[in-house]
C-alpha cells in the first residue's frame, strides 16, 4: 500500500512537473541561467581560469550548441550546467532554483530528476542489457513501472528490437541511442550532450543528430557541446567558447 | 533508494561481474577452509600428544632409595638400597595412606630369555599385583599373575608385546629366563615408548620369584616402589602421605635427612604440557598466516574491482545516485560475497575434515571457535575492503570518476 501510494504521489508530482514546464514555456521562464560564472582549477601560480565571467540563459525548447576548440572551457561549462561541478564564483539557477549553493545530495537529486546526460564515451555498463542500462536512473527515484518506462524510451530511439542486447552486441550508433534513451527515460527538463558524435562514424553521427533534432522538435530543451561545425549546424542557437569566455555565435536558421 | 532495490542492484552487480565475484568468493572460501583444516589437524595432533602423555600414568609416584635433598648436595638417587618390602606393605595399608590406590615394589634386572624359536634380552621386573594399576597398564592376552602366584613364588611371566614377538611366543608357551623355566601367562597391552624406556619390551614376574631366581640378594629389599594415586587430583595428598609414612618408619623424621626420593610423573606432565602449548602457538600462527594470505587475496580483488568500477560509480553519480546509495550497493555486494564465501569455506573445511582422516592417517578435530574466527575475519576483510575503497570512490566528483579509464 505504502509503495503504491508513494508511486501515485510520484506520478502526480511528475505530472505537476510536466504542467509546470508547460507553464514555464508559456511564460518564457528559463530552463537555466548562468550569471557571471567563473571556474578556477588549482590555486596560486598553477591556477587555471577555465570559465571567465560566463553568463547564459537557455529558454524552454531551445537547441543550443556550444562550440569551441579543446581547452576552451566547454567541458567545464558542461560540468557546471550538468550540476556535476560547482562554480567558483557567480550564480547558477536551474529551473528557478539556485544550484550553486546546493548540497551534494540535492545536486544528485537535480541530476536525477531534471537533467539527462549523453556522453561522448556512451558510458553504458557492459554487464547490463540495453533496457537495464536505460532503467539505471529510475533506480534512484520512486518508480514502480521501471521496465515499461525503459521500454518506451528505447522505442522512442528506435531500439525496441535490441532491448535485451548487451552494449558489446550493439554498434556505436546503437549504443549512443541507448544512452539517449537513458537520458530521456526520466523525462528531464534539459538534455545535456557532450560531444555525442565524437566517437561515431559519419553515418551513425547523422543518425544520432537526427534523433536529437527529433527530440528537440518534440519540445525538449537540449544543450550540446561539440567542436564540429556540421554537428553544431543542427542546433538552432550556436555559442562559441574560447579561453573560458562565451559569446553568441551566428544563429542558424 | 530503498533497501530492496539496493539489494537488487547489489545482486545484479555480483551477477554482472561473474569472474570477480567467483574470485572473491574463492579467496574467502580457501581462507576459511584452510584455517578450519590447519586448526583441525593441529587440534587432533595436540589431543593425540595429550593422550600419549596421559597414558604415561600421570597419577604415578616413584619412590627411589637415597636422597637428593641433603644439604643442597646432590646425594645421588639410588646410591643405597634402603627401600624394603615392609615399606611397600605399609604404603598398601589404607589407614596409613588413604589416597594411595595401588602399590608396586619393583626389582629389575636385564635378563637373557630363550624360547624354542629365539632368544632375546630384556628388562625383567619383579613386582606385586599392583604393578598393572601403578603403571596404568592392562593385559591384552592371557592374564596377569595373582596374589597367590606371588605368595607361592610361581614361575610365571607376563611379557611386553615387543618381547613376545621377538621371542616368537604366545600365552601358554614356556621360556627360560636366566636359564630358569617360566610359563608365559599373559601379553601386556601395547603402549609404545614411555619416557625414556620402551614399555613394550619387558617381562614382569612375581617379586618373590624374582628374588629367588633372578635378582637374588636380600628378599626384603626392593629397588623402587611405584605408587598410584586414585586420580590426578589426589597425587599431591598421596605424595604427602607416602612421604610422611616413610619419614616416620625410616626414623628420619627427627634427623631430617630422608634416605629416599619421591618423584611424580606429573613433573614430566608439566614439561609435556609446555610442549603442547608450543604446539598450539605454532598452530595459531599457521592459522593466522592462512587468514592473512586469504585476506590479502580478497583485499586485492576488491581493490582492483573498485578501481575497475570507478567509471560505473561516476556514471551512477551523474545519473543521480547519492554517495549513500553507492555505499549501500557496495555493502550489499561485499556482504553477499563474504557471506557466501564464508559459508562455502565452512562447508569445504568440514568436508576436508571428513575426507582427510578417511584417506590419510592424519587426524582432524574440528571445534567451533576457529570456524567462527575464520568466518568473522574473512568476511570482515571482504566487507572492509569491498566497502572502504568504494566509499572513497563514491566521494569523488562524478566527472573525475567518469574520466577514470
Residue pLDDT, tens place only, B164-208: 988 989 899 899 998 889 999 999 988 776 555 678 889 999 998
Asked if A127 lies within 8 A of B398 by C-beta distance, the reply is: no
Is pLDDT of B75 > 60?
no
Check residue A108 and give its pLDDT.
92
B404 vs B329 pLDDT, higher one? B329
For residue B197, which phi and psi values (nearest 5 degrees)? -130, 160
pLDDT band at A154 (very low <50, low <70, confident <90, very high): very high
Is residue B16 located within the same domain as residue B145?
no
Residue A230: which CATH number? Answer: 3.40.50.300
Cβ atoms of A115 and A185 within 8 Å: the answer is: no
Domain annotation covers residue B71: no
Q: Could you tell me which residues of chain B have a Cβ less than 8 Å from any Cβ in chain A?
A: 1, 5, 9, 12-13, 15-17, 311-312, 314-323, 325, 397-399, 402
Per CB-CB distance under 8 Å, the chain A contacts of B396 are: none
> In this structure, are B131 and B230 located in the same domain?
yes
**Is A65 a domain residue?**
yes
Q: Of B15, B317, B399, which has the smallest distance from its Cβ to A108's Cβ?
A: B317
B319:A111 CB<8 A: yes
Residue A69 located in a structural domain:
yes
A9 assigned to some structural domain: no
User: Does any domain span residue B59?
Assistant: no
CA of B1 vs chain A CAs: smallest distance (Å):
5
Total residues found in chain A within this entry: 253
Per-residue pLDDT for A247 more than 90?
Answer: no
Tally the domains of chain A. Answer: 1
Band (B252; pLDDT cuts 50, 70, 90) = low
pLDDT at B78: 42
Q: Is residue A23 part of a domain?
A: no
- The per-residue pLDDT of chain B, averaged, comes to 81
Task: Indicate whether B66 belongs to any domain.
Answer: no
Pair (B312, B253) in one structural domain = no
Between residues A113 and B290, which one has the greater pLDDT? A113
Same domain, B283 and B204: no
Cβ distance B17 to A127 less than 8 Å, yes or no, reads yes
| Distance in angstroms (rounded) separating the CA atoms of residues B211 and B217 | 7
Asked if residue B250 is part of any domain, the answer here is yes
Task: Identify whether residues B200 and B307 lie together within a single domain.
Answer: no
Torsion over CA of A13, A16, A20 and A22, rounded to 10 degrees? 130
Summarize chain A as % helix, strand, coil (round to 5). Answer: 45, 25, 30
Chain B contact present for A6, CB below 8 A: no
Q: Is the pLDDT of residue B69 over 60?
A: no
pLDDT at B76 over 50: no
Residues B237, B127 share a domain: yes
Higher pLDDT, B306 or A150: A150
Residue A24: the pLDDT is 55
What's the Cα-to-Cα distance from A118 to each of A149, A224, B106, B259, rounded to whole Å?
18, 9, 99, 102
Q: How many residues are listed for chain B in this entry?
A: 405
C-alpha span between B146 and B186 (Å, rounded): 12
- Residue at which a domain ends, from B234, B258, B282: B258
Q: Under a CB-based contact definition with an 8 Å cutoff, are residues B103 and B92 in contact?
A: yes
Identify the three-state secondary structure at position B72: coil
Segments in B56-98 forming alpha helices (H): 85-92
Examine residue A86 and state whether it is found in any structural domain, yes or no.
yes
Burial of B325 (0-12, 13-18, 19+ CB in 10 A): buried
In a domain, B60, yes or no: no
Last residue in a domain, options B227, B258, B289: B258
Asked whether residue A83 is assigned to any structural domain, the reply reads yes
| Total number of domains in chain B | 2
pLDDT for the residue A219 = 92
Residue B341 falls inside a structural domain: yes
Confidence of residue A2 (pLDDT cuts 50, 70, 90): very low
Q: What is the pLDDT of residue B70?
A: 45
Beta strands B197-198 and B139-142 are unpaired
Q: Which of A85, A119, A127 shows the shortest C-beta gap to B397?
A: A85
Closest CA to A197 of A116, A115, A121: A121
pLDDT digits (tens, 9 = 90+) for A11-25: 444 555 555 555 555
In a domain, B64, yes or no: no
Does the CB of A103 have a partner CB in chain B at under 8 Å? no
User: Do B275 and B253 share a structural domain?
Assistant: no
Whether residues B313 and B237 fall in one domain: no
Report, as an integer, the average pLDDT of A110-134: 92
* Same-domain pairing of B284 and B143: no
Angle of CA points B324, B328, B332, to nearest 5°: 175
Kindly give, in sequence order, each residue whose CB lies less than 8 Å from that of residue A220, ignoring residues fewer than 6 positions away.
A61, A184, A188, A191
Does residue B72 fall inside a structural domain?
Answer: no
Per-residue pLDDT at B79: 42
The yes-or-no verdict on residue A241 having pLDDT over 70 is yes
Pairing assessment for the beta strands A221-226 and A63-67 based on DSSP bridges: parallel
B204 plus B96 within the same structural domain: yes
Q: What is the pLDDT of residues A57-86, one digit of tens each?
A: 999 999 999 998 888 888 899 999 999 888
pLDDT greater at residue B217 or residue B338: B338
Q: Does A82 touch chain B (CB under 8 A)?
A: yes
Buried b / exposed e along B140-163 (16+ C-beta atoms within 10 A):
ebbebbeeebbeeebbbbbbbbbb
* B120 shares its domain with B143: yes
Chain B residues whose CB is inside 8 A of the A137 CB are 319-320
Separation in Å, CA of B42 to nearest CA in chain A? 44
Task: Give the nearest partner residue to A139 out of B1, B17, B312, using CB atoms.
Answer: B1
B44 in the same domain as B151? no
Find chain A residues with C-beta within 8 A of B316's C-beta: 136, 140
Closest in B5, B9, B322 to A108, CB measured: B322
| A236/B235 Cα distance (integer angstroms) | 104
The helix (H) or strand (E) run that includes residue B86 is: helix B85-92
Q: Is A136 on the interface with B (CB under 8 A)?
A: yes
Confirm or reject contact between A237 and chain B (CB < 8 A): no
Domain hosting A186: range is 29-248
Cβ–Cβ contacts within 10 Å for residue B248, how many?
13
**CA distance from start to end of chain A:** 52
Question: What average pLDDT does this structure show over B81-104?
Answer: 81
Answer with the residue of higher pLDDT: B255 or B85. B85
Domain that holds residue B206: 81-258
Q: What is the mean pLDDT of residues A99-103?
A: 88
Chain B residues within 8 A of A112 when measuring between CB atoms: 319-321
What's the average model confidence in pLDDT over B375-398? 81
**Which of B320, B325, B397 should one mutate to test binding to chain A, selecting the residue with the greatest count of A CBs within 10 A?**
B320
Which of B319, B324, B397, B405 should one mutate to test binding to chain A, selecting the residue with the greatest count of A CBs within 10 A?
B319
Amino acid at each position: 500500500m505504502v509503495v503504491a501510494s508513494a508511486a501515485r504521489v510520484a506520478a502526480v508530482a511528475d505530472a505537476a512537473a510536466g504542467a509546470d514546464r508547460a507553464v514555464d514555456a508559456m511564460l518564457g521562464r528559463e530552463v537555466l541561467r548562468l550569471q557571471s560564472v567563473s571556474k578556477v582549477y588549482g590555486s596560486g601560480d598553477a591556477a587555471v581560469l577555465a570559465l571567465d565571467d560566463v553568463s547564459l540563459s537557455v529558454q524552454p525548447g531551445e537547441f543550443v550548441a556550444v562550440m569551441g576548440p579543446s581547452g576552451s572551457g566547454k567541458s567545464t561549462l558542461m560540468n557546471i550546467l550538468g550540476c556535476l561541478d560547482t562554480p567558483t564564483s557567480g550564480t547558477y539557477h536551474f529551473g528557478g532554483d539556485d544550484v550553486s549553493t546546493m548540497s551534494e545530495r540535492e545536486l544528485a537529486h537535480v541530476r536525477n530528476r531534471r537533467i539527462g546526460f549523453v556522453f561522448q564515451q556512451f558510458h553504458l555498463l557492459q554487464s547490463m542489457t540495453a533496457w537495464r542500462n536505460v532503467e539505471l536512473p529510475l533506480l534512484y527515484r520512486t518508480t514502480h513501472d521501471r521496465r515499461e518506462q525503459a521500454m518506451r524510451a528505447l522505442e522512442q530511439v528506435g531500439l525496441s528490437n535490441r532491448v535485451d542486447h548487451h552494449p558489446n552486441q550493439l554498434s556505436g550508433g546503437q549504443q549512443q541511442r541507448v544512452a539517449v534513451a537513458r537520458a530521456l527515460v526520466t523525462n528531464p527538463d534539459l538534455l545535456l550532450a557532450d560531444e555525442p558524435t565524437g566517437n561515431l562514424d559519419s553515418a551513425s553521427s547523422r543518425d544520432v543528430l537526427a534523433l536529437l533534432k527529433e527530440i528537440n522538435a518534440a519540445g525538449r530543451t537540449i544543450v550540446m557541446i561539440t567542436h564540429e561545425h556540421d554537428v553544431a549546424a543542427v542546433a538552432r542557437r550556436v555559442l562559441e567558447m574560447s579561453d573560458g569566455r562565451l559569446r553568441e555565435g551566428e544563429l542558424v536558421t | 533508494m530503498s533497501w530492496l532495490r539496493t539489494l537488487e542492484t547489489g545482486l545484479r552487480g555480483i551477477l554482472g561481474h561473474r569472474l570477480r565475484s567467483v574470485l572473491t568468493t574463492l579467496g574467502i572460501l580457501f581462507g576459511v577452509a584452510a584455517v578450519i583444516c590447519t586448526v583441525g589437524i593441529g587440534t587432533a595432533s595436540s589431543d593425540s600428544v595429550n593422550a600419549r602423555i596421559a597414558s604415561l600414568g600421570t597419577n604415578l609416584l616413584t619412590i627411589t632409595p637415597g636422597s637428593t635433598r641433603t644439604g643442597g648436595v646432590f646425594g645421588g638417587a639410588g646410591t643405597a638400597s634402603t627401600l624394603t618390602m615392609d615399606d611397600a606393605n605399609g604404603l598398601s595399608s589404607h589407614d596409613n595412606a588413604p589416597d594411595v590406590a595401588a602399590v608396586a615394589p619393583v626389582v629389575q634386572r636385564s635378563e637373557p630369555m630363550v624360547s624354542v624359536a629365539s632368544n632375546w634380552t630384556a628388562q625383567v621386573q619383579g613386582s606385586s599385583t599392583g604393578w598393572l594399576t601403578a603403571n596404568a597398564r592392562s593385559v591384552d592376552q592371557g592374564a596377569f599373575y595373582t596374589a597367590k602366584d606371588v605368595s607361592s613364588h610361581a614361575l610365571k611371566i607376563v611379557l611386553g608385546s615387543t618381547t613376545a614377538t621377538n621371542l616368537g611366543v604366545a600365552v601358554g608357551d614356556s621360556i627360560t629366563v636366566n636359564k630358569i623355566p617360566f610359563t608365559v601367562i599373559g601379553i601386556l597391552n601395547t603402549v609404545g615408548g614411555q619416557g625414556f624406556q620402551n614399555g613394550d619390551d619387558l617381562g614382569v614376574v612375581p617379586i618373590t620369584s624374582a628374588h629367588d631366581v633372578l635378582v637374588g640378594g636380600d628378599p626384603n629389599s626392593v629397588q623402587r616402589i611405584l605408587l598410584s594415586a586414585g586420580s590426578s587430583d589426589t597425587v599431591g595428598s598421596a605424595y604427602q602421605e607416602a612421604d610422611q609414612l616413610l619419614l616416620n618408619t625410616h626414623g628420619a623424621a627427627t634427623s631430617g635427612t630422608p634416605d629416599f626420593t619421591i618423584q611424580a610423573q606429573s613433573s614430566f606432565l608439566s614439561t609435556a604440557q609446555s610442549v603442547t602449548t608450543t604446539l598450539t602457538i605454532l598452530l595459531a600462527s599457521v592459522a593466522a598466516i592462512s587468514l592473512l594470505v586469504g585476506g590479502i587475496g580478497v583485499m586485492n580483488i576488491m581493490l582492483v574491482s573498485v578501481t575497475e568500477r570507478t567509471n560505473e560509480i561516476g556514471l551512477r553519480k551523474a545519473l543521480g545516485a547519492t554517495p549513500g546509495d553507492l555505499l549501500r550497493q557496495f555493502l550489499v555486494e561485499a556482504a553477499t560475497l563474504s557471506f557466501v564465501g564464508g559459508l562455502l569455506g565452512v562447508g569445504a573445511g568440514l568436508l576436508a575434515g571428513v575426507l582427510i582422516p578417511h584417506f590419510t592417517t592424519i587426524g582432524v578435530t574440528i571445534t567451533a571457535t576457529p570456524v567462527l574466527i575464520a568466518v568473522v575475519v574473512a568476511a570482515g576483510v571482504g566487507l572492509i575492503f569491498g566497502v572502504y575503497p568504494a566509499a572513497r570512490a563514491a566521494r569523488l566528483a562524478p566527472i573525475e570518476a567518469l574520466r577514470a579509464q
